[in-house]
Structure 1
Amino acid sequence: MSESDTASLRVLVAVAETGSFSAAAGRLGVTQQAVSARMRTLEARLGVPLVRRSARGSAMTAEGSVIAGWAADVVSAADVFAASVRTLVEADPAPLRVAASLTIAEYLVPEWLHRLRVAGAPAVELTAANSAAVAESVRAGRADIGFVETPTAPTDLASRRFATDELVTVVAPGHPWARRISGVTPTELATRPLVVREAGSGTREALDLALDGREDRAVPAAVLPTTAMVRAMAAAGDAPAVLSVLAVTEALRAGTLVRVRVRGLRITRPLSVVWARGTELSTPARALLDLIADR
């Protein structure tokens, strides 16, 4: 039904409810002539006399009264439909739920979110956790997409690699390794108690994989739940740490940490985005992935 049809039915309902063309015109905010013209057009289209006109005024015919009742239902339904569509269009879109590993959340996500907001994208709800928890959030439907830093992405989730990260060994300026110009060996790294992240962390998994198979692996000096805590403990001089270069760049520049070369060992890992297999990514999620791909 066109807008013109609905407008004509609205005029019919107004005439039936008010009892006259002039009263209907007042309700609708149009002229009496416009109401009369609408009624004549509607009668011609339906082939049924809707109003009986006389010198004393006008009155609904029997057919007109019945049709006006039907028209009232149509007009009411059209109003409900229009209001529902308006509410849908005007409502704020659902936020994009993102889960990200701690390193990615702290050092990469803020720039992404800024660029999304500049582009007019909807709000983002960010949850930061270790990579294992991020993957579980995506599996459970608590996050639309997730960002992980494990050596291999979870095989039960769809994934896309977007960057490569490097893990570096760092110590406090007063640590003996800070003066080792030649660096240290992988064996020395494996046998020295380190400050490490917890199991489930992508940083911990990458380190364990790099030192896998060494029976003389030392017990960690400390196991901490965040990168910031590991970095702070290493800077305090307690023990070496192996962290993402993203997480220690500022500390290296400030001189609160010193990078130690590990001869013959370079630890890298992929940074990946994951989402549930078989699901269609939302427009905001695709926009975020496109933004990352253009970095």
Structure 2
Amino acid sequence: MPLSPRVVDLGPYDVLLSVAELGSMGRAAERHGVTQAAVSARIRSLEGALGVTLLERSPRGTRLTPHGALVADWARVAVDAAEALDAGVTSIRSEQAARLRVAASLTVAEYLLPRWLVALRTEHPETSVSLSSRNSTDVAADVLAGAADLGFVEGPAVSDDLDAQVVARDRLTLVVAPGHAWASRRRGIDAERLRATPLVAREHGSGTRAFLEHSVGALAEPALELASTTAIKGAVAAGVAPAVLSSLAVAGELAVGTLVAVHVVGLDLDRRLAAVWPRGRPLAGPAADLVGLATRRREG
């Protein structure tokens, strides 16, 4: 049953209870952080809405009328219940706001999220984060299923059921072992040669593999499929086959010479890394904090 307008707003009843308890509009005004005139106006408005006189005012103070005493008794139950409701909802909201479940693709989880999470903890030390590292397809599925509050993916396309925001940029790099025939090719190779060469590749569902297939087209059957970037780098260094990996993932190996980058002529392998969340659900709390922090770092 819809509540009457007379009882929807419990604020005036709370003021009435304070006046009754303290015996003074002035002291009630101090408790509620308003002026005495404001308290008097709220009581008059409540009396007008109820059609009864609630208080008797005299030089010696203010006290409840008989009708006012009845209203105050009923109001006390309602105000106490409202305070309990508010306290409960606040505790739930605070608990949810302090916990963030993140699912991220391997590249983001290994090379970007650690810095973002350190910064998030510095700015919001009350926030706890749980992180699962999956391929991009599984990340999207976790977010859609409610198993993660926020996801980070690296594929070329995002499900229509998700909203997305670019938070970082990356470039894929073709790498080979130092002894590979391509390592000494100053002009690199063309996209057709890459497309025809069996690679050490990530599994289906990987954002890196999906982006490469989107950019190059159908690839040759992989020489080897591995679910770990570290394992792929090891296989390439051992001479199994070339691989195409995130520049973030191979920067260290390129610097020390255990892997060699090979230019692919006429092929743009720049890509965007995105945060994703359920479509139509605005980002809020620590999820919004983390996305905002990551975006600021990209723009900075």
Deviation at 1:82, TM superposition (A): 4.3
Asked if 1:115 corresponds to 2:119, the answer is yes
- Spell out the pairing of 1:67-82 with structure 2 (5 A cutoff): 71=73, 78=79, 81-82=82-83
Residue number in structure 2 paired with 1:276:
278
| AA matched with 1:261 | H
1:152–1:270 contact (8 Å) kept in structure 2: no
Larger deviation, residues 236-245 vs 202-211: 202-211
Identity of aligned residues (%): 43
Aligned to 2:291: 289
C-alpha change, 1:204 and 1:86, in structure 2 (3 Å) is: same
- The answer (yes or no) to whether the contact 2:168–2:294 under 8 Å persists in 1 is no
- Pairwise CA distance, 1:220: 0.8
How far apart, in 2, do the equivalents of 1:280 and 1:229 lie?
38
TM-score w.r.t. length of structure 2: 0.71
Relative to structure 1, the CA distance from residue 92 to residue 277 in structure 2 (aligned partners, 3 Å threshold; closer, same or farther) is closer
Instruction: Give me the TM-score of the superposition, normalised by structure 1.
Output: 0.72
Q: Secondary structure at the match of 1:225?
A: coil
| Equivalent residue for 1:172, pick from 177, 180, 184 | 177
Contact 1:10 1:75 survives alignment (8 Å): no
Moved more, 178-187 or 198-207: 178-187
Q: Number of matched residues?
A: 250
- Larger gyration radius, structure 1 or structure 2: 1
Q: Give the alignment of 1:241-280 within 5 angstroms.
A: 241-280=243-282
Structure 2 distance, partners of 1:4, 1:270, is 56
Shift of 1:188: 2.6
Q: Indicate how the Cα distance of structure 1 residues 182 and 44 shifts in structure 2: closer, same or farther if over 3 A, else same.
A: closer
- Match in the other structure for 2:102: 98
One-letter identity of the residue aligned with 1:45:
R
Question: Matched residues in 1 for 2:15 and 2:264: separation?
Answer: 79
Which shows bigger deviation, 260-269 or 242-251? 260-269
Residue 265 of structure 2 aligns to a residue whose secondary structure is coil
Unaligned runs of 5+ in 2: 1-11, 23-56
Q: Distance in 2 between matches of 1:134 and 1:110?
A: 17
TM-superposed deviation, 1:87: 5.6
C-alpha separation between the residues in 2 aligned to 1:270 and 1:232? 26
Q: Secondary structure at the match of 2:63?
A: helix
2:65 is matched with 47
For residues 55-74 of structure 1, the aligned pairs below 5 Å read 71=73
- C-alpha change, 1:45 and 1:244, in structure 2 (3 Å) is same
Against the structure 1 CA distance between its residues 225 and 82, is the aligned structure 2 distance closer, same or farther, given a 3 Å change threshold? same
| Structure 1, 130-139 or 40-49: larger mean CA deviation | 40-49
Which deviates further from its counterpart, 111-120 or 149-158? 149-158
Amino acid at match of 2:117: L
Structure 1: segments with no counterpart, 5+ residues: 12-39, 50-63
1:182 to 164, 183, 187: 187
1:128 aligns with 2:130: no
Answer yes or no: is the 8 Å Cα contact 2:183–2:261 preserved in 1: yes
